Structure 1
Amino acid sequence: FVRRTKGKRDRLAPLLEETGAALADYILRARPKVDSPYLFLSFTPPVGPFKYASPVSRIVRKRLRHGGVELGRVAGAHLLRHSLATQLVRQRTPINEVADLLGHRSINTTALYVKVAVSQLAEVALPFPGGVA
């Protein structure tokens, strides 16, 4: 259960078993021992919830660089979201399911991710009537 997402809404999201195991490990071994209802906390004093996305984006960029990932123009926390959507589209997940997972209210917002599937669109394109001009 995810509270107060970017769209200021609560929603349910699937949790893979390995993700659940990683979260449990974080809670048991790494999370600062403070009384806070928030799951993810800043290790930088004062320890508490992240107030903005920028520290999370810095952490993501640092870990990606550490993993040898080339960082382009879009790098940070949003890159993870974009990568997930791109992979789902490439795997031919129905666009409405991708929209639900991302929490998009409008299918038009999710449709932006379809542009990455141009090669797949070419596979199903019908020949131009009358041949090539």
Structure 2
Amino acid sequence: MGSPLLLAWQLDRSGVEGLNGVAVGDIDSYMDLRGSKLTRSSLKSTAERLRSLLRYLHRTARVAADLSPHIISPRLYAYEGVPSILERDQITAVLASTSMDATAAGLRDHAILQLLATYGLRAGEVRNMRIEDIDWRAEVVRVRHSKTQAYTLLPLMEPVGEAILTYLRSGRPATDAREIFIRTRAPFRKLDKLYSLVRRRLRDAGVKPLGKCGPHIFRHARATELLRAAVPKKVIGDLLGHRSTGSADPYLKLATEDLRAVALDVPGTEVLA
């Protein structure tokens, strides 16, 4: 989006001929304008796209000088952002609150939240889950991981199975769609997204997490719980459908207090009287 917006911005300011006279000051003004509305990560992406645009404009003789070296983007560090999570008592509160809603939407949302909280699934993995992915006799649920395109067979935990079964029997509308979770209003098709659903249920339960409050917050919580329980990162990665074991590294930050609790005293650091 950065490149088209710059062109539109400059043309609006200076007309068709304005592109010829674009200068470093124009770029600075534009980046200052965009920077106030973007995260550091988005600003870095915008800067990279603008560099490409300015190199192209110079190469095609549309501007006299190559201005791309003048664009400074923020430096990003690996795992600099700590994911938002829910603590176990907050998850319990959300599940309890939603279980009190006996409407079709309530039954559906409770089953979805059980899946998110128990397995740490991605939103797309829940939305795309099909009726045939539940093997009731073997008590197994098949998860299609949206990023790796692999399948994982997970034990169908009792609270999850009960919630899904209740929804299928009493909340799911009659439809030919094979996806489990369906809109409550016509046209009866699979859900488009889960963000607003999760945010509403958190609000209704009086849970106000720091940071984002979409479905991924349950995934973060599950990963952190497993790390705190000393589950190997390879096992966590297999459960959550990670492409690499390094994908679990950001969650290590969330267990800081746990790591401090097992820290060893370093010899020679005693405070002298």
Q: Verify: 1:35 aligned to 2:176, yes or no.
A: yes
Q: Give the corresponding residue for 1:83.
A: 221
> Per-residue displacement from partner, 1:34-70 (whole Å, max 9, x unpaired)?
011111112233211134xxx3111011011101101
Structure with more relative contact order (C-alpha pairs < 8 Å, separation 6 or more): 2
Distance 1:105 1:75, change over 3 A: same
1:107 corresponding residue in structure 2: 245
Q: TM-score, normalised by structure 1?
A: 0.83
Match of 1:70 among 208, 230, 233: 208
Q: What is the RMSD of the two structures over their aligned residues, measured on CA atoms? A: 2.1
The alpha-carbon deviation at position 130 of structure 1 amounts to: 4.2
Q: TM-score, normalised by structure 2?
A: 0.43
Note if 1:11 corresponds to 2:126.
no
* Structure 1 unaligned blocks of 5 or more: none
Give the match's secondary structure for 2:176.
Answer: coil
Whichever of the two has the greater Rg, that structure is 2
1:60-114 per-position Cα deviation (integer Å, ceiling 9, x unaligned): 1101110110133221111111111122222333322222211112111012111
Q: Is the 8 A contact 1:3 1:10 kept in 2?
A: yes
**Is the contact made by 2:237 and 2:245 (CA closer than 8 Å) also made in structure 1?**
yes
* Residue aligning to 2:257: 119
Residue 21 of structure 1: how far off its partner (Å)? 0.7
> Is it true that 1:96 corresponds to 2:222 in the alignment?
no
More divergent stretch after superposition (67-76 vs 9-18):
9-18
Contact 2:145–2:241, Cα closer than 8 Å, also in 1: no
Q: Which whole-Å CA distance do the structure 2 matches of 1:74 and 1:36 have between them?
A: 31
Q: Describe the shift of the 1:61–1:86 C-alpha distance in structure 2 as closer, same or farther (beyond 3 A).
A: same
AA of the residue aligned to 1:42: R
| Structure 2 residue 189 is matched with structure 1 residue 48 | yes
SS state of the match for residue 12, structure 1?
strand
Deviation at 1:13, TM superposition (A): 2.6
Which amino acid is the alignment partner of residue 45 of structure 1?
A
Q: 1:18, 1:113 → 2: CA distance?
A: 26
% same residue: 36
Describe the SS at the equivalent of 2:187: coil
Report the CA distance between 1:129 and its aligned residue.
Answer: 5.4
Partner of 1:22: 163
- Distance (whole Å) between structure 2 residues aligned to residue 10 and residue 89 of structure 1: 22
Tell me the equivalent position of 2:58. none
- Aligned pair count reads 130
Which segments of 5 or more consecutive residues in structure 2 lack a partner in the other structure? 1-141
Kindly state the Cα deviation for residue 11 of structure 1 after the two structures are TM-superposed.
2.0
Structure with greater proportional helix content? 2
